[in-house]
Structure 1
Amino acid sequence: MGQSLVEFCAVLPLAILLFAAVIDGGYMMLVAINIHTGVREGAQLALYDKAFSNDTIKKRIKDSVYAAPIADSEITIAQTANITIGSTVHQAYEIKVNHKHYFLLPFVFAAQSTIDLQSTITSMVVTGLTP
């Protein structure tokens, strides 16, 4: 009986630490997937030729990322190039979210308490497309 209790006490902290790391890592993956989904949602709005403002696109991104609060300063929307197809000139936009994720249990990952999660999509505006 005593030996079992000693072994249990020796293994329990390691098991709890492993369980906490799995939960924290899973939450980080949830946030990363949500950020990528939000950037895709923003890219869908950017397809329409100036039908939506940058503020509307940012709001759509923030509404789509339900797992973590995204600040406006973490979202970048920039025109990257003009693409000519035939006689039509299309604009390409790069939508980027660079989010600083704070771990739920920073003591589990002692080397760092935050990690930068980033997602970028480049989309081309389709002229004549209406919402």
Structure 2
Amino acid sequence: MCMMLILFAIVLVAMGIWTSTQWVVIAAVIFAGALLGNNNTLITTAVMNAAPVERSTASAAYSFLRFIGGAIAPFMAGKLAEIYNPSVPFIVGALFVFISVLFIWFNYKHVKHVDSVETAH
């Protein structure tokens, strides 16, 4: 999970550096989508199994955070690009992803079950 997020942050940095190069941004968006698609399952599993509350409550809280972030991010990215330059939203996004990796590492005991392979009986 952390490796996928680190790769995603690196892709965001690349998009921030080469914002004006169209093919780089297109390729980075495709690659980032593959990383996020794979990581979505890992993060959802980690959240659902780590929460000390009922599954429905954990799911509601997780969805709230995801959707509020999804609602705020486009507005904030537009404002950052408008105030500074088009590269800033990507760099800020990468910084927050790196912070999330640190947060996961410092709280690894809650999500270490994601690294375990479950066997079907």
TM-score (norm 1): 0.30
Query: Larger % of strand: which?
Result: 1
Larger radius of gyration: 1
Structure with more relative contact order (C-alpha pairs < 8 Å, separation 6 or more): 2
Query: Larger % of helix: which?
Result: 2
TM-score (norm 2): 0.32
